[in-house]
Amino acid sequence: MAKDTKQRKAAARAAVDARRLTPGKVARLVLKTLTFALLVSLLITLLGALGVTGLQNRWLLQLALAVPIYIVAYPFLMSEFRPKNSPRYGGSSKSSKRSGR
């Protein structure tokens, strides 16, 4: 029982620490976002140059292509602000690997 409370408190602390803004996290987020925007705009430009219908002049269709790509990439872009050891986010804690305790 006490372990569960300690684990919950540790997970809560890890979540607070993960959401805390630091210059390094902000710099990595900016670099990831700029790289992502560059890649998406390059993809749209290449598709437009290849003659894909609607991507040459219509900005609304370009936006309609960029938004789903961004939604898929969002977890990667925001990974700096997730706790690293929380089981809810796919991490594993040391106590779950132990047997018999």
pLDDT in tens, 54-85: 777 777 788 888 889 889 988 888 888 777 76
Residues 45-66 as b/e (b if ≥16 CB within 10 A, e otherwise) read eebbeeeeeebeeeeebbeebb
pLDDT at 96 over 50: no
Question: pTM for the full model?
Answer: 0.59
Q: Where are the domains of the chain?
A: 23-82
pLDDT at 8 over 60: yes
Question: How is residue 73 written in tokens?
Answer: 């990439």
2 confidence band (pLDDT: 50, 70, 90): low
Mean pLDDT over 29-51 rounds to 88
Q: Which of 66, 64, 59, 72 is nearest to 41 (CA)?
A: 66
pLDDT at 35: 92
φ, ψ of residue 4 in degrees (nearest 5)? -60, -40
Mean pLDDT over 82-92 rounds to 56
Residue 88, exposed/middle/buried by CB under 10 A (0-12, 13-18, 19+)? Answer: exposed
Mean pLDDT over 16-35 rounds to 86
